[in-house]
């Protein structure tokens, strides 16, 4: 027994004496010119030619000065002066983009080109091309451009699998920060599946500490194999500069957008299953007998929807989609979006403690009622609002729940309009006006043509009923 103890202590002592040498060997300094020359230069040199600067411009009229509208000024310089044509000035926005096809298909962020009427790209070798906008999707904050006359093949980046990324993987961010010219920064993947960022409706972001600054939007996040794994989109910053927290849209979502553009779509058709979901909190997890919060809880099912036809039920806990865990409704929507319309997804559902596999068809949201969009211009509390008939398609566009109800919803509000001044907002469902139920845009238009002494409105805002009164 004593001999065995002595042998154990001797072995432990020898291990302790050997450990520092092992650690030193792991952290050894470079011992040759080859090891000292290791760098990311080959990856950067291969990827950089496919990353472009994007310039979007539009012409806007100069704001008329108060002096031009002053009666005293007009008395001396002529009454026709205010009617003279206004000069136009050019507004420019600057960002980055990535060539993903040698024919000249370019991916960028929607917010880079959203207001532009003319779009131009400049390559790393200073070649310039005019571009057409094939697709732009505000929900996803992605857009696809097409070079008008590429004059041969252009350098393109292969699109990788963003699901293969792991926290700690090395990545390069390539773009044009602050308009100073193409820049490459290096960092690691800091986090995956960021869904509480507040950037787009389908939130599932790669977080990186590679320096991303204004002007990098639309640029490439590249792995060490030189593959595009994300489109740099936003930074977390209190002062406008990079604080080491940047966000990129995963390449698997980019693939969906590229495919939609190749099929001729002007926006991305996203799947709809007709289920309302909510995240599982600690309290809900405790009620369900779970050891930790996980999955998403089904809180509503639209009649005759794919979820209804598949047998999904209120109270079901969806744990994963095609074997990949989901922890938030936004993550769930992302998983469906990357599967694409026309396919099926298998949901792992915890129902009363038993796990079932439920296949659900991924269909486009139907416009069960023609939207009949109308701009309200009659003097009323709704003046300046654009309204549409509610349907699954309209509800998905606005991020609303849909459970088969008829109604009219506000889709847009003009700035400084009466509707904006009283606090109406896109997504508000108009339930009733002066006691009369509103079920169509035609009914609302007729009601606003009246001029009552008093207006009483009933609205549904995210499930909360608001009752407003105005003279």
Q: Which of these is catalytic: 93, 101, 111, 162?
A: 111
φ, ψ of residue 63 to 5 degrees: the values are -70, 130
Catalytic residue among 93, 96, 137, 141: 141
Catalytic one among 217, 260, 305, 380? 217
Transcribe 260-296 into DSSP letters: HHHTT-SS----B--EEEEE--HHHHHHHT-SS--SE
CB pairs under 8 A, 24+ apart, for 178-183?
Answer: 178/213, 178/214, 178/215, 179/53, 179/94, 179/215, 180/215, 182/48, 182/51, 182/53, 182/124
Q: Hunting for tokens 């994963």 — which residue is that?
A: 320
Active site residue 10: no
Q: Which residues, at least 6 apart from 238, have a Cβ–Cβ distance to it below 8 Å?
A: none
Secondary element (H or E) of residue 52: strand 51-61
For residue 146, give every residue at least 6 positions away whose Cβ sits within 8 Å of its Cβ, in sequence order, or none: 103, 104, 105, 106, 131, 132, 134
Beta strands in 67-182 (DSSP E): 88-101, 105-108, 118-122, 128-137, 142-147, 170-175
What are the residues whose beta carbons fall under 8 Å from the beta carbon of 319, sequence distance 6 or more?
294, 295, 325, 326, 348, 349, 350, 355
Structural tokens at position 218: 């639309």
Q: Helix (H, G, I), strand (E, B), or coil: what is residue 461?
A: strand
Q: Is 111 annotated in the active site?
A: yes
Q: Is 141 a catalytic residue?
A: yes
Backbone angles phi, psi at 165, to 5 degrees: -70, 150
Non-local (6+) Cβ contacts of 320 within 8 A are: 295, 326, 347, 348
- Report whether 110 contacts 137 (CB < 8 A): yes
CA distance 238 to 35: 39
Q: Compute, in degrees rounded to 10, the torsion defined by CA atoms 212, 186, 221, 114.
A: 20
Element containing residue 336 per DSSP (H, E): helix 329-339
Tell me the catalytic residues: 111, 141, 217
């Amino acid at each position: 027994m004593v001999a065995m103890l002595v042998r154990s202590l001797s072995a432990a002592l020898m291990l302790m004496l050997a450990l520092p040498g092992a650690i030193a060997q792991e952290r050894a300094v470079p011992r040759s010119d080859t090891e000292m020359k290791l760098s990311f230069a080959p990856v950067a040199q291969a990827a950089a030619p496919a990353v472009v600067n994007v310039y979007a411009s539009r012409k806007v009229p100069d704001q008329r000065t108060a002096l031009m509208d002053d009666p005293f000024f007009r008395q001396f310089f002529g009454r026709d002066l205010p009617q003279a044509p206004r000069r136009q000035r050019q507004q420019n926005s600057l960002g980055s983009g990535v060539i993903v096809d040698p024919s000249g298909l370019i991916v960028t962020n929607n917010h880079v080109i959203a207001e532009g009427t003319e779009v131009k790209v400049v390559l790393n070798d200073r070649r310039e091309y005019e571009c057409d906008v094939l697709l732009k999707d505000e929900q996803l904050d992605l857009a696809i451009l097409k070079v008008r006359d590429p004059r041969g093949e252009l350098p393109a980046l292969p699109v990788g699998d963003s699901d293969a990324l792991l926290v700690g993987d090395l990545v390069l961010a390539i773009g044009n920060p602050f308009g100073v010219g193409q820049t490459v920064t290096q960092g690691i993947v800091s986090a995956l599946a960021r869904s509480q960022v507040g950037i787009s409706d389908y939130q599932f972001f790669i977080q990186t500490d590679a320096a991303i600054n204004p002007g990098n939007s639309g640029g490439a996040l590249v792995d060490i194999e030189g593959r595009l794994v994300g489109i740099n989109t936003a930074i977390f910053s209190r002062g406008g500069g990079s604080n080491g927290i940047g966000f990129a849209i995963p390449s698997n979502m980019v693939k969906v957008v590229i495919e939609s553009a190749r099929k001729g779509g002007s926006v991305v058709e996203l799947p709809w299953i007709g289920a309302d979901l909510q995240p599982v909190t600690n309290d809900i997890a405790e009620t369900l007998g779970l050891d930790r919060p996980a999955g998403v809880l089904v809180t509503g099912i639209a009649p005759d929807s794919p979820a209804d036809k598949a047998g999904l039920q209120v109270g079901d806990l969806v744990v994963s989609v095609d074997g990949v865990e989901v922890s938030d409704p936004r993550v769930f929507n992302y998983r469906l979006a990357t599967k694409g319309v026309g396919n099926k997804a298998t949901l792992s559902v915890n129902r009363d403690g038993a796990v079932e596999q439920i296949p659900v068809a991924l269909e486009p949201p139907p416009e069960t009622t023609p939207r009949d969009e109308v701009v309200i211009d009659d003097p009323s509390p709704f003046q300046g609002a654009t309204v549409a008939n509610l349907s699954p398609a309209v509800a998905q566009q606005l991020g609303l729940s849909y459970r088969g109800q008829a109604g009219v919803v506000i889709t847009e509000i003009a700035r400084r309009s009466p509707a904006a001044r009283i606090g109406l907002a896109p997504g508000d469902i108009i339930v009733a006006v002066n006691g009369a139920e509103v079920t169509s845009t035609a009914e609302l238009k007729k009601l606003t043509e009246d001029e009552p002494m008093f207006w009483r409105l009933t609205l549904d805002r995210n499930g909360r009923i608001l009752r407003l009164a105005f003279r």
